[in-house]
Structure 1
């Protein structure tokens, strides 16, 4: 797998970490292109870390990833070490995304990328936890990747849908603060 600047990313074999497709990744970074430099980025259900690695390559100031699978966390850390510059910080947190969000209370992020397993029951509780723990900056945005055939838009207090984009069997719903 390659990311921005034709950089090679280490990945785990199989689909356990469900890497975001190049098409979806490129589309997201085109949408957010003017706001990545110096941003604080949160990558939830980080998989192989491709989204956080891309954010680092494009100038994010800080990238934090949460992933439950231990082997994936090691790969994410290795990948991010390859791409981070001296003025960039990153951290990989191993654990359940809902439990680990509590540990970030007090930090705020410009961009939050959330890509859980499509059939998981994480969508609503994680979006609510982001609000409860005040993790999204007022001018920030959350991108939620999902399967449009399985997705039902969610009404979350303090969040509104800004836009939805469809890419075949994948879609991204963008939420902003109300």
Structure 2
């Protein structure tokens, strides 16, 4: 979740809550607008995804602290493409990738505008997409439209969306599997139509 307003450069931390790096803490920028997914929300999400992460290709559209990317890889995702617009956050993501001794081909991190990135045909589709932009930036709906229009989603792909509680309802052609509010955070998990090939 990239910050889009004035930031400071203090440090905080995130904790990986499951998988091979369970309990590991990683430093992250403590910057205005950078809102790492809380342990409580992550626990809910990854309980929803239990048994559906290993060997999956994942796309993290607003990587921010990297909490969702690192959590997925800790639980044996085969590949995570992380996108982040804020250069200092990208630098910290790269540092944390090195700390975990991850190959950059398994976790490529790209400093880019997510909407521009999605307005292209992918070389290969994804099985799981995380959409967790900064709150109140109206980025969720255009991301969903681009994912659908440009063929980013494999058959039976899962799409996780985290947004502000008061966000407008989404008009997407996917099945809503799970939904939960925790404080000001609304979490939804959708599934694309079709059957997974492998």
Counterpart in the other structure of 2:169? 153
Q: Distance in 2 between matches of 1:44 and 1:93?
A: 10
Contact 1:110 1:136 in 2 (8 A): yes
Shift, 1:153, TM fit? 1.5
Instruction: Quote the offset at 1:54 in angstroms.
Output: 0.7
Aligned to 1:173: 188
Matched, 1:60 2:77: yes
Per the normalisation by structure 2, the TM-score is 0.82
Identify if the C-alpha distance between structure 1 residues 16 and 147 changes in structure 2 by more than 3 Å, giving closer, same or farther: closer
**2:146 equivalent to 1:143:** no
Aligned residues: 176
In structure 1, the residue matched to 2:15 is 2
- Residue by residue over 1:146-167, the C-alpha shift from the partner in whole angstroms, topping out at 9 and shown as x without a partner, is 121x2122112x3232231121
Contact 1:57–1:83 (Cα < 8 Å) also in 2: no
Cα deviation for residue 102 of structure 1 reads 3.3
The answer on 1:90 being equivalent to 2:103 is no
Once the two structures are overlaid, the 10-residue window that deviates more, 112-121 or 95-104, is 95-104
**Counterparts of 1:125-144 in structure 2 under 5 Å?**
125-144=142-161
Helix, strand or coil for the counterpart of 2:116?
helix
Shift of 1:79: 1.6
TM-fit CA distance, 1:64: 0.7
> Could you say what secondary structure the match of 1:34 adopts?
coil
In the superposition, relative to structure 1, how do residues 132 and 84 fare at CA in structure 2: closer, same or farther (>3 Å)?
Answer: farther
1:124 match: secondary structure: helix
User: Residue 92 of structure 2 corresponds to which residue in structure 1?
Assistant: 75
1:141: Cα distance to partner?
A: 0.7
Moved more, 161-170 or 18-27: 161-170
Query: What does residue range 6-25 of structure 1 map to in structure 2 within 5 Å?
Result: 6-25=23-42
Structure 1 residue ranges without an equivalent (≥5): none
Task: Give secondary structure in 1 for the equivalent of 2:51.
Answer: helix
| Runs of at least 4 residues off by over 3 Å | none
